[in-house]
Amino acid sequence: MTVTELVSYEDALASYDPVMGLEVHVELGTKTKMFCGCATTLGADPNAQTCPTCLGLPGALPVVNAVGVESAIRIGLALNCEIAEWCRFARKNYFYPDMPKNFQTSQYDEPIAFNGYLDVQLADGEIFRVGIERAHMEEDTGKSTHVGGATGRIHGASHSLLDYNRAGIPLIEIVTRPIEGAGARAPEVARAYVAELRELIRALGVSEARMEMGQLRCDVNLSLRPHGREAFGTRSETKNVNSLRSVERAVRFEVQRHAAVLDAGGTIVQETRHFHEENGTTTSGRVKEEAEDYRYFPEPDLVPVAPSREWVEELRAGLPELPLARRNRLREEWGISAHEMQSVLNAGAVELIVATVEAGAEPAAARKWWMGELARRANEQGVELAALPITPARVARVTALVAEGALNDKLARQAIEGVLAGEGDPDAVVEKRGLRIVSDEGALGKAVDEAIEANAAVADKVRAGKVAAAGALVGAVMKATRGQADAARARQLILERLGVAE
Amino acid sequence: MADLIRLTAAELAAEIAAGSVSSVEVTEAHLARVEAVDEKVHAFLHVDREGALAQARAVDERRAAGERLGPLAGVPLALKDIFTTEGVPTTVGSKILQGWIPPYDATVTRRLKEAGVVILGKTNMDEFAMGSSTENSAFGPTGNPWDLTRVPGGSGGGSAASLASFQAPLAIGTDTGGSIRQPAAVTGTVGVKPTYGGVSRYGMVAFSSSLDQGGPCARTVLDAALLHEVIAGHDPLDSTSIDAPVPDVVEAARNGSVAGLRIGVVREFRGEGYQAGVLQRFDESVALLRELGAEVVEVSCPSFDLALAAYYLIAPSECSSNLARFDAMRYGLRIGDDGTRSAEEVTSLTREAGFGPEVKRRVMLGTYALSSGYYDAYYGSAQKVRTLVARDFERAFADVHVLVSPTTPTTAFPIGERADDPMAMYRADLCTIPVNLAGNAAMSLPCGLAPEDGLPVGLQIIAPAMADDRLYRVGAAVEAAFQARWGHPIIEEVPAL
């Protein structure tokens, strides 16, 4: 079915209630793979990090990575899940060349963690609770590179190259319960959920969860139902939506597309869809005419995983403060609104500000620089804030120089520019560029005298009591000192010289 | 010195250790025997002459250097072609692995090498160990040295035939439903399926992971025990490997006795389909056990009647998944890769050409049994039967120390007789399969020749899991008593080739 015109988002929401299901795959940052001892570092030569087990050679057998299991349990606990007392791996059988054994070692009806939730905070501070159905352990596949075609897709390719370095890297798949009741905020909820999950994974230290590196991958399932109906509509499954913005856009687009199909009297096809970053649309992938039959059965090559209750409690006790609670604490400490905190989170600035404050900066000053000047520069360069070549300690030093009056804002920006340009630490930049505020009474006094002399008419107005006109004289002093004067002190001196009081 | 090829492994090891013969001489004698007779027997798929002599030389050098050698150092062995061997072809009896040279040694292979055991070559087998006659090998059948027109059993017919034709004093087999014990029975040799998890499966090409178990094959109980000790023990590369000390099987084999033991005869293992001569020899064995001081009682294991059906759901289910990796992408045969076909088409053409009919039958059966809508009825029910079988064993072993039965209902059948009748073929494993389902240990050893056809009959001894030593204690006692009665080991009656 071709849909020529989307229904506007508002109209779609007027008629339908969206229901979402989000499936997130997190690639764990373990040193070795899930079932063998191969390294997991990125960027190695193709197939350099493989062995008989992860290549699926005849006779090779898997052995479970204990750190992988521990990470899965910690994720489960952080998601308020129950942890299975006994569970097994299962084989998910399907053929694909980048899957060495032609079955994926996964979990089926006995996930390691189940029945949890994650609270996510929306921009206005509202908390939305997302139910977690399960989190289970599995292994990643290899990577196919299709050569010779125009698009990098298999269609039209002359051949494909296979790299099994990724095959067997541990994954945790986290599946939500159907997310209902988000209404018009569904795209925002989806985005906030993935963002919160990412924060959680990072706080646990189990993965860097960098979406652009494929370390956190999201599938968005969406269906619409007319308002007031219990039963879910048919869903579409949009695969590999790999940025927070894309998650939000994919939900929004699918709401509009489903509404258009339904409004036109059509039926939604249960299918896999591809998301296109460039225009925010989705297109049909393969149609699932019948549910794929993966012929799951318990993996006979592995023994069951039976984490003792003592161990689970030990892991629970060792969990770090979770991101939402921590943000709320920081929000109070920093004295900012939920909305402002959300902006800080979205900018990826929480840890940077925390580190800057730890390095001695005032929270307000730290936030101002990271969310202002530095955010602007990161944005200009199209990089993450954390990727800027400046450390929180150096930002803290800049704020200290401002606080002690050695720099004003304009000079501080130049100091930061110097640091980013690789000219050294803030003190070195100030020294080299000669940025220090002119507070030397002699030099400042001379500049003040010259400004009064050169602007006699203005000086007269001030003498006549029009104190506001002194601003022009301050401006002249600042200009003469190339902005390096302490403006407040200059004003004081001008008024003194002209014999007027504030 | 007596004919080297007629000596037991224990005797050969002793001679080599004493310096009265070198491992190279022993190895050359066996290679010469292979050269002379294997064209008729076809026990070997691959003879690694150079590799074997190199290993033998290394053992001789270590001995010359005064090193203390292991109890089987320098003794030749025939390895079932299901274990990976670095640099030496491994086919699993299938065309699908054509041209594949494994880059790694199975744990069993590694342990044999470390023990100084000389690997002569790789033995013939039913493709992927699926069969009871070795007729399913993609490389042609193996003859039974007692009568070359008959099967040597299967799947490990090559290993058993190599022993019975004196091409090797030791061999390794694998037993998923009887593939060590049934060939041992029909060739008049000794074969042991250790407790599941007793011998590492790492590098043993999988047929049915929850049932497969590697084990020793030999011409005497003591030789089997010596080999058992070399290959058994915990392996961190196999998650299902048992992390506990290996029962002292060698001590048990050296001190055979049944005095004071309670031995159970399984009532379900006789009746229709059992050859009269097999039952006669079995009954004589039971009488012998009584004479030797055992108390023999009858036990009933009613669920065993369902074992065969359950096995033919579980094993194919697991094999349908285990064999999925043979897709022409990374190793082995590749058909149709002419630049015009998709990977899926190449995989399909390769599997069509590379797998034989029995393998295809089981892959299809297993795929069906695991599919949604059928899983509970087939795979699920089979797992329940498996639990029942295990409980029957538990109940029996609460009462007796070991169980005994005929190993196989008939003696060796003629090549071709059951090739077109899978059900008849499957029944050859009637008495052996329940042991695999429960994960217990079992041995087959010769108990005479059937009067009607003069072919060997096997006595099966079954022990609880982790009590493998009981097999050897009972087996050694039976072996000694029978030899005293016959005046010689039964294997000496095998016709000259």
Specify whether the CB–CB gap between B231 and B269 falls below 8 A. Answer: no
Euclidean distance between CA atoms A474 and A346, whole angstroms: 40
What ipTM goes with this model? 0.96
Q: Best of B329, B334, B338 to disrupt the A interface by mutation (most A CBs within 10 Å)?
A: B329
B92 → chain A, closest CA residue: A58
A468: domain CATH number is: 1.10.10
Average pLDDT over chain B reads: 97
pLDDT above 90 coverage of chain A, percent:
70
Distance CA A3, CA B10 (A): 81
- Put simply, whether the predicted model's pTM sits higher than 0.80 gets the answer yes
Q: Would you say residue A420 lies in a domain? A: no
**Is B179 noted as a catalytic residue in this protein?**
yes
Considering CB atoms only, which of B97, B202, B209 is closest to A300? B209
A45-96: per-residue pLDDT in tens?
999 999 999 999 999 999 999 999 999 999 999 999 999 999 999 999 999 9
A33–chain B Cβ distance below 8 A for any pair: no
Residues of B in contact with A66 (CB under 8 A): none
pLDDT of residue A148: 83
CB < 8 Å & 24+ apart, contacts of A474-479? A476/A451, A477/A444, A477/A447, A477/A448, A477/A451
Q: How far is A259 from chain B (nearest CA, A)?
A: 33
Contact (Cβ atoms closer than 8 angstroms) between residue A470 and residue A491: yes
The reply to whether A207 and A283 lie within a common domain is yes
Give me the percent of chain B exceeding a pLDDT of 70.
Answer: 100
Amino acid of residue B329: M
Average pLDDT rounded to a whole number, residues B318-334: 97
Structural domain that includes position A206: 9-312
Q: Report the alpha-carbon distance of residue B380 to residue B376 in Å, rounded.
A: 4
Kindly give, in sequence order, each residue whose CB lies less than 8 Å from that of residue B477, ignoring residues fewer than 6 positions away. B256, B257, B258, B292
A295 and A239 in a single domain? The answer is yes
A245 and A353 share one domain: no
In order of their start, the domains of chain B are: 4-303+387-493 (3.90.1300.10)
- Among the candidates A387, A404, A421, a domain finishes at A404
In a domain, A294, yes or no: yes
Q: What is the pLDDT of residue A291?
A: 65
| pLDDT value for A156 | 78
Best mutation target, A61, A159, A162, to test chain B (most B CBs within 10 A): A61
- In this structure, the number of other CB atoms found within 10 A of the CB of residue A294 comes to 18
Instruction: Specify whether A196 is located in the same domain as A91.
Output: yes
CB distance B389 to B434 below 8 Å: yes
What's the CA gap between A326 and B4, in Å, rounded?
Answer: 79
The closest CB to that of A59, out of B106, B329, B347, belongs to B106
The reply to whether A80 and A194 lie within a common domain is: yes
Reply yes or no: is the peptide bond before residue B303 cis, omega within 30 of 0. no
Whether residue B123 contacts residue B43, with contact meaning beta carbons closer than 8 Å, is answered with: yes
Q: What is the average pLDDT across B257-267?
A: 97
Q: Is residue A333 part of a domain?
A: no
Contacts across the A-B interface (CB distance below 8 Å)? 104
Say whether both A306 and A351 belong to one domain: no
Burial (Cβ within 10 Å: 0-12, 13-18, ≥19) of residue B13:
buried
pLDDT tens profile A427-465: 999 888 888 776 667 778 888 888 888 888 888 888 888
A283 shares a domain with A353: no
3-state secondary structure of A131: strand
Residue A466, pLDDT > 90, answer no
Among B446, B423, B459, CA closest to B493: B446
Q: How far apart are CA B411 and CA B91, in angstroms?
A: 28
Q: Cβ(A54)–Cβ(A36) under 8 Å?
A: yes
More confident residue, A467 or B293: B293
Is a pLDDT exceeding 90 seen at residue B457? yes
Chain B contact residues (CB < 8 Å to A):
83-84, 90, 92, 97, 100, 102-104, 106, 201-206, 208-210, 236-240, 317-318, 320-321, 324-327, 329-331, 339, 343-344, 347, 367, 370-372, 375, 379
Closest CB to B84: pick one of A59, A97, A301: A59
Instruction: Give yes or no for residue A1 having a pLDDT over 50.
Output: no
- Structure-token pair, residue A125: 């501070």
| Any B CB within 8 A of A63 CB | yes
What are the structure tokens assigned to B370, written together?
Answer: 């695991």
- Known catalytic residue at B348: no
Q: How far is CA A311 from CA A85, A117, A317, B98, in A?
A: 11, 22, 10, 48
Query: Do A234 and A369 share a structural domain?
Result: no
Domain-embedded: residue A397: yes
pLDDT in tens, B84-118: 999 999 999 999 999 999 999 999 999 999 999 99
Confirm or reject contact between A88 and chain B (CB < 8 A): no
- The per-residue pLDDT for range B64-88, each reduced to its tens digit, is 999 988 999 999 999 999 999 999 9
Of A268, A286, A312, the domain-final residue = A312
Would the pLDDT of B350 be above 80?
A: yes
Q: Which of B22, B132, B137, B155 is catalytic?
A: B155
Domain count of chain A? 3
What pLDDT is stored for residue A411 in this prediction?
Answer: 87
pLDDT of B58 strictly over 90: yes
User: Comparing A210-214, B122-126, B311-315, which segment has the lowest mean pLDDT?
Assistant: A210-214
* Angle in degrees, CA A145, A151, A154, rounded to 5: 50
Q: What is the pLDDT of residue A464?
A: 85
pLDDT value of position B217: 98
Is pLDDT of A4 > 60? no
Task: Average the pLDDT over each of A377-386, B293-302, B342-351 and give the range with the smallest value.
Answer: A377-386
Amino acid at position A232, single letter: F
**Rounded distance between C-alpha atoms, residue B178 and residue B436, angstroms:** 8
Q: Which of A258, A288, A312 is the last residue of a domain?
A: A312
Q: Are residues A301 and A362 in the same domain?
A: no
Q: What is the pLDDT of residue A439?
A: 62
Question: Which tokens belong to A481?
Answer: 């000192």
pLDDT at A287: 64
Residue A422 lies in a domain: no
Q: Report the C-alpha gap between A421 and A454 in whole angstroms.
A: 38
Q: Would the pLDDT of A182 be above 50? A: yes
- Helix, strand and coil content of chain B, in percent to the nearest 5, comes to 45, 15, 40
Cβ within 8 Å, pair A100-B330: yes
Residue of A nearest to B337 (CA): A159
Residues of A in contact with B97 (CB under 8 A): 58
Active site residue B155: yes
Is residue A372 domain-shared with residue A297, that is, in the same domain?
no
Residues of chain B neighbouring A162 (CB-CB closer than 8 A): 329
Q: Indicate whether A429 belongs to any domain.
A: no
Q: Which pLDDT tens digit goes with each residue over B378-428?
A: 999 999 999 999 999 999 999 999 999 999 999 999 999 998 888 888 888
Antiparallel, parallel or unpaired: β B295-299 and B262-266: parallel
In a domain, A134, yes or no: yes
B201 contacts A61? CB cut-off 8 A: yes
Measure Cα distances from B483 to A218, B188, B443, B471, B487 in Å: 71, 13, 18, 18, 5
Taking residue A449's Cβ as centre, other Cβ atoms within 10 Å add up to: 14
The per-residue pLDDT for A9 is: 95
Same domain, A129 and A74: yes
Per-residue confidence at A500, pLDDT binned at 50, 70, 90?
confident
Contacts of A293-296 with CB under 8 Å at 24 or more apart are: A293/B371, A293/B372, A294/A92, A294/A93, A294/A94, A295/A91, A295/A93, A295/B320, A295/B321, A295/B367, A295/B370, A295/B371, A295/B372, A295/B375, A296/A90, A296/A91, A296/A92, A296/A93, A296/A106, A296/A108, A296/A109, A296/B370
CB contact (8 A) between residue B371 and residue A295: yes
| Own/partner long-range contacts of A488-496 (Cβ < 8 Å, ≥24 apart) | A489/A439, A489/A444, A490/A444, A490/A447, A490/A448, A493/A444, A493/A445, A493/A448, A494/A448, A494/A451, A494/A452, A494/A462, A494/A470, A495/A462, A495/A467, A495/A470
Is there a contact between B97 and B137 (Cβ–Cβ < 8 Å)? no
Question: Whole-angstrom Cα distance, residue B341 to residue A349?
Answer: 51
**Over the stretch B272-283, which tens digit does the pLDDT of each residue have?**
899 999 999 999
Q: Which has more pLDDT, B370 or A291?
A: B370
Structural domain includes residue A261: yes
Q: Do B317 and A291 touch (CB under 8 A)?
A: no
Shared domain check, A30 and A136: yes
| Length of chain A in terms of residues written | 502
* Closest chain B residue to A294, measured at CA: B371
Chain B contact set for A97 (CB, 8 A): 327, 329, 343, 347
